[in-house]
Amino acid sequence: MVSSMTGFGVGEAKGDGHVVAVEIKGVNSRFCEVKTRIPRKYSNFEEKINRKMKEKFARGYMEVFINYKDLADAKKPLKVDKALALAYHSSLRDLAEAMGSNSDISVMDIAKLPEVMVADDEVEDMEALWILTKMAFYDAIKEVKSMRADEGYNLKRDILSRIDNLKGLVAVVKQYSEDNLVEYRNKLFERVETILGDVPVNEDRLATEIALYADKSDITEETVRLESHFKMMLDTLEEGGVVGRKLDFLVQEINREVNTIGSKSHVSKISQTVVEMKSEVEKIREQIQNME
C-alpha cells in the first residue's frame, strides 16, 4: 500500500473530568516535521506526541492541535493561598487604621480577593490525563492514515495509467526510429548537393558520416532504459510503503532519457511523441510529490 502525505483526522476522549480533543493535519514535506500546539500546562506531553508522530509517519508536515476542556459537572478542589490572604488582611487593616476606619474585615472579604482561592490544577492526575490524550490522539492518527491511504490508492492508479501511456509512446518512438536515420541521410544529401552543386559527391565519405550519425542517433539504449525504469516504478508501487523518494529518483531518470531521445530526433513524429512523453512524465512527477 502507498500513501499520500495529505490527511486530516480528529479524535476525542472523555473521562477524569475532562474532554480531550485532538486534531491532526498533514501536508507535503520532504521530511517528517511535527508542529504541536498544546496548552502550556500540558507541555510535558509534547515530547511524547512528537515521538509518536515520527513513529507513525515517515514524511509530511504534520500539525497536531490538542485541547483540554473541563466537563460541566466536574468539581475541582480549591487551593487557599494563606500567605497571600494574611498579607491582604494586614495591608487592609493598616489602611483602615490610616483612614481612621473601624470597619471589620471578614474572612469572606479576604476570600474574594484575587488569587486567594483558586482551583487547584496541580491535583489533576496527569497520568490519567495522558491516557485520555493517547486515546484521542490514536483515533486522530487512524483517521489521518485512512485518508492518506485512500488518496495514495488514487495516486497509484493515476500513475499506473500514465506509465501505460508512456509505454505506448515508447512503442511509437521505436516504430519511427529507423525513419530517423533515413531522414538524416536525405537531409545530408540535400545539404551536400546544395553546397557542392555539380561537384561529384564522395560516396565513401558520406557513408562514413551517415554511419557516425547512425551510432550517435541510435535510441535503442534510451528505450531499453525507459522500459527498465517503468518496470522499477511498477515494482516499487506494488511493493508499497514509503516510496516517494525512490519514485522521484526514477522519474528524474525517465525524464533524462526522454530528453536524450528528443535531442537525437530528426523525425517530426518522434519529436511530437517526445512532447507527449514529457507531459506524462511531468504529471507523474506532480503526483509523486504527494506520496509518502
Tens-level pLDDT at each residue, the chain (292 residues): 899 999 999 999 998 778 999 999 999 998 899 999 998 878 889 999 999 999 999 999 999 999 988 775 455 667 788 888 888 888 888 888 888 777 777 888 888 888 787 666 555 678 888 999 999 999 999 999 999 999 999 999 999 999 999 999 999 998 887 776 666 666 666 666 666 566 665 666 666 666 666 556 678 889 999 999 999 999 999 999 999 999 999 999 999 999 999 988 877 888 999 999 999 999 999 999 999 9
* 281 and 154 inside one domain: yes
* 14 and 89 inside one domain: no
* 109 and 16 inside one domain: no
Closest listed residue to residue 96, CA positions, set 106, 83, 82: 106
CATH number of the domain at 239, please. Answer: 1.20.140
In a domain, 16, yes or no: yes
* 188 and 256 inside one domain: yes
β-partners of residue 20 are 13, 68
* 236 and 167 inside one domain: yes
C-alpha cell of residue 237 = 508501487
In a domain, 163, yes or no: yes
* 43 and 136 inside one domain: yes
- Count: domains in the chain: 3
pLDDT value for 59: 92
pLDDT value for 264: 82
Parent domain of 145: 7-73+125-149
pLDDT value for 226: 96
pLDDT value for 82: 87
In a domain, 2, yes or no: no
* 217 and 254 inside one domain: yes
* 28 and 52 inside one domain: yes
* 82 and 158 inside one domain: no
User: Which class for 3: exposed (0-12), middle (13-18), buried (19 or more C-beta within 10 A)?
Assistant: buried
CA–CA distance, 7 with 27 (Å, rounded to integer): 7
Q: How far does the chain reach from its first CA to its final CA, in angstroms?
A: 11
In a domain, 28, yes or no: yes
